[in-house]
Structure 1
Amino acid sequence: MRELLASGLVLLAAGSAVSAAAPDFTVMSAGQLLIGAGVGLSYSVAIAAVAEWTSPDERSRVLALVLLGPPAAWIVGMPLSGLVGDVSWRLVWVVVPLTSAVAALVVLVQRHSTPPAAARADLLAVLRYPGVVRWSIGELLAFSAWAGSLVFIGALFIESYGLSVAATGLLLGAGAVVYVPGNLLFRRWIDEHDRVLLVGLAFGAAATVVVLGAYRGRPRSVSLRTRCSRFWLEGGRWQEARTGSTSLPSCVFA
């Protein structure tokens, strides 16, 4: 687990450095590819590490804290990125993601490696495990919706409403605050109403996005509707992550 987390953080740091120094769009795209791989690897391994590094009694509490990591990064990082971006977009990659990845690596290397999982399996064996394919498809769709909304809402504020980079960063950081109550609120109900909540939250997020696209409104109104969609998405992400960390097989690839 530690080595996989470190690999993800190294990819994130390398992608940030490449993006900061990119002379053209092609190199920038390569840097973004590294960043995407690093974020995906580090985030998925962090969720898997909850089951590996915690006892069943404390698993829900620790998982809730892990899932608060991305919104916490947005709450702090987006306003900071907006302010630094008014100076130089290249500097943003150094001040926020590169520095954060290096700091996380420093903390991670102080933790001892854990023993390998008791069972080893290839990818096909894992996919044949009941529920893995359905869970993976749900994760793919949820992350696509989550990433798409976050990427394009910033462009909407800047290009359509004419907001500055700093103002856009502040709005996005404020919008991420709703992830916190979404995480803490739905955690209390998930054990008894998991399926109902998952379906209801998915429809709630979808309906909010439809309203977001159909009605233009002012920036404040768009920001409010974006916060609503994030509130629903965070509840759904909590359920998906809980299922993955508690119900799927504990094994490593051979």
Structure 2
Amino acid sequence: MPLALLALAIGAFGIGATEFVIMGLLPEVAGTFGVSIPTAGYLATGYALGVVVGAPVLAVAGARIPRKRMLTALMGLFIAGNALSAVAPVFAVMLAGRIIASLAHGAFFGIGAIVAASLVAPHRRAGAIALMFTGLTVANVVGVPLGTWLGQQVSWRATFAVIAGIGVIALAGVAALVPHGDRSPDTDAAATARSGGLRGELAAFRNAQVLLAMAMTVLGFGGVFAAVTYLAPMMTDAAGYAPGAVTWLLVLFGLGMLIGNLAGGRYADRALMPMLYVSLGGLAVLLALFTVAAHHKAGAAILLPLIGGFGFATVAPLQKRVLDHAAQAPTLASAVNIGAFNLGNALAAWLGGVALGAGLGPTSPNAVGAVMALAALALAVAATVLERRDKPARPERDARREGAAEPEGAAVGPGVSPEPPSTVRSGG
């Protein structure tokens, strides 16, 4: 494993910790600033919205900046936001710190995924992306429980100070270990020039496969969070767990995330679309079963890590699919897909709340998640059908391009070899 992947994973760990730890510290933060719990909840909402907005904005702003420099700048932004949160004198400053930190989230994962993929051979790229995202999953298993404990036992300010310190370590690692250019023949500058800058980055969104992959991200990953967002009331009201047991159930979910993320990256390198079929189909089935199993302690404990595993098995394949189909200008598309994960979270939380508000029962968000995952599976099938339909036309286009290039090569003159066909095609 390239050491640069470790630096990216540490950054992902810090980002994952700061995103989710606030959920366990809302009472302490609300008490400090004298606000209600719902008002304190804006610290989570503001972060999510900052990710959605910051991902494309910062990706565009940094389109012509070398990726290593951009990653270090993003980590500096992350450190500043968490440091501001740690010393915030009033709630508004705390909210500003959360938003500043969130702006780095989407662009860091988006650009980091491109860098991670460039560090290894093509047949190992999904696995490399998964290794970077391992930092995010480990944050849920270890970082969030420890951060919550530290905040409850010492101070929530100490939690955010420690997270800022993790950001410093990640920044140093990125600066020391991430290479200045891609391992491929193209450097960052060459890739940017080839993409045509912002116009080239935006052109990726004319590719139907890129849009389908992003829609799969919103629906598939959102399906997981339709259930997890309302896990606490579901486990206490339906399964009969004590409130204190929810933390350990979240640890089980996090372990499933960790294993599923690594498995998804490994098998996506062998067969990406079949991996998506299995993970999305399995997720839909598990969430449907969870509407019933969540009424029983044992059933909930067994299915929860499986839901986390099948849900996070989609992360690396979906991110790699976006990179594959936006290869000429991947920065903006990769960052926007990270925002799509958070958009899916927000959409699923809203739809799950609608189901609860309609009186459909405490496990009804699971049914919402199952429908979302099933819709994502349908999009995956549609993407494959479109891809197969498009393939027969490609050899004809390539042949026409080679045919058009032959007279040009013949006119070069005796004793001078024409350019090989591959060179001619790459310039077309």
| TM-score, length basis structure 1 | 0.78
Give 1:106 deviation, angstroms: 0.9
Q: Does 1:91 align with 2:173?
A: no
The C-alpha deviation readout for 1:37-61, integer Å capped at 9, x for no partner, is 2222211211111233333244344
Q: Does 1:42 align with 2:108?
A: yes
Give 1:16 deviation, angstroms: 1.7
Give 1:15 deviation, angstroms: 2.3
Worse overlay, 178-187 or 144-153: 144-153
Cα 1:190–1:77 change in 2 (3 A) is same
Aligned to 2:391: none
- Aligned AA (1:35): A
- Aligned AA (2:261): N
Cα 1:177–1:108 change in 2 (3 A) is same
Worse overlay, 102-111 or 72-81: 72-81
Worse overlay, 84-93 or 239-248: 239-248
Cα 1:128–1:213 change in 2 (3 A) is same
Give 1:177 deviation, angstroms: 1.4
Aligned to 2:272: 194
- Contact 1:78–1:173 (CA under 8 A) maintained in structure 2: no
Pick one of 97, 100, 121 that aligns with 1:31.
97
- Contact 1:81–1:169 (CA under 8 A) maintained in structure 2: no
Give 1:84 deviation, angstroms: 0.4
- Aligned AA (1:90): R
Pick one of 254, 257, 263 that aligns with 1:179.
257
Aligned to 2:306: 228
Q: Does 1:107 align with 2:176?
A: no
Structure in which a larger fraction of residues adopt helix: 2
SS of the counterpart of 2:195? strand
Structure 1 gap segments, 5+ residues each = none
Cα 1:98–1:163 change in 2 (3 A) is farther
Whole-Å separation in 2 of the counterparts to 1:152 and 1:33: 24
- Contact 1:75–1:177 (CA under 8 A) maintained in structure 2: yes
Pick one of 60, 82, 87 that aligns with 1:16.
82
Q: How does 1:135-214 map to 2 (within 5 A)?
A: 135-145=213-223, 153=231, 163-164=243-244, 169-187=247-265, 189-190=267-268, 193-210=271-288, 212=290
- Aligned AA (2:120): T
Worse overlay, 209-218 or 132-141: 209-218
Give 1:23 deviation, angstroms: 4.0
Give 1:217 deviation, angstroms: 4.0
Worse overlay, 152-161 or 216-225: 152-161
Whole-Å separation in 1 of the counterparts to 2:202 and 2:280: 29
- Contact 2:71–2:108 (CA under 8 A) maintained in structure 1: yes
The C-alpha deviation readout for 1:200-234, integer Å capped at 9, x for no partner, is 42243344445556665467754543322211112
Whole-Å separation in 1 of the counterparts to 2:262 and 2:323: 18
Give 1:168 deviation, angstroms: 5.0
- Contact 2:86–2:158 (CA under 8 A) maintained in structure 1: yes
Report the count of equivalent residues.
250
Whole-Å separation in 2 of the counterparts to 1:70 and 1:77: 9
- Contact 2:134–2:262 (CA under 8 A) maintained in structure 1: no
Give 1:171 deviation, angstroms: 4.1
SS of the counterpart of 1:245? helix
Aligned to 1:126: 204
Aligned to 2:328: 250
- Contact 2:217–2:318 (CA under 8 A) maintained in structure 1: yes
Whole-Å separation in 2 of the counterparts to 1:105 and 1:34: 16
Aligned to 1:51: 117
- Aligned AA (1:139): T
Larger Rg: 2
Cα 1:92–1:11 change in 2 (3 A) is same
Whole-Å separation in 2 of the counterparts to 1:158 and 1:14: 37
| TM-score, length basis structure 2 | 0.50
Aligned to 2:319: 241
- Contact 1:71–1:180 (CA under 8 A) maintained in structure 2: yes
Q: What percent of counterpart residues are identical?
A: 22
Give 1:17 deviation, angstroms: 2.1
The C-alpha deviation readout for 1:80-131, integer Å capped at 9, x for no partner, is 1132022222222122x21211110011111442232151232431212352
- Contact 2:232–2:246 (CA under 8 A) maintained in structure 1: yes
SS of the counterpart of 1:109? helix
Whole-Å separation in 2 of the counterparts to 1:103 and 1:220: 40
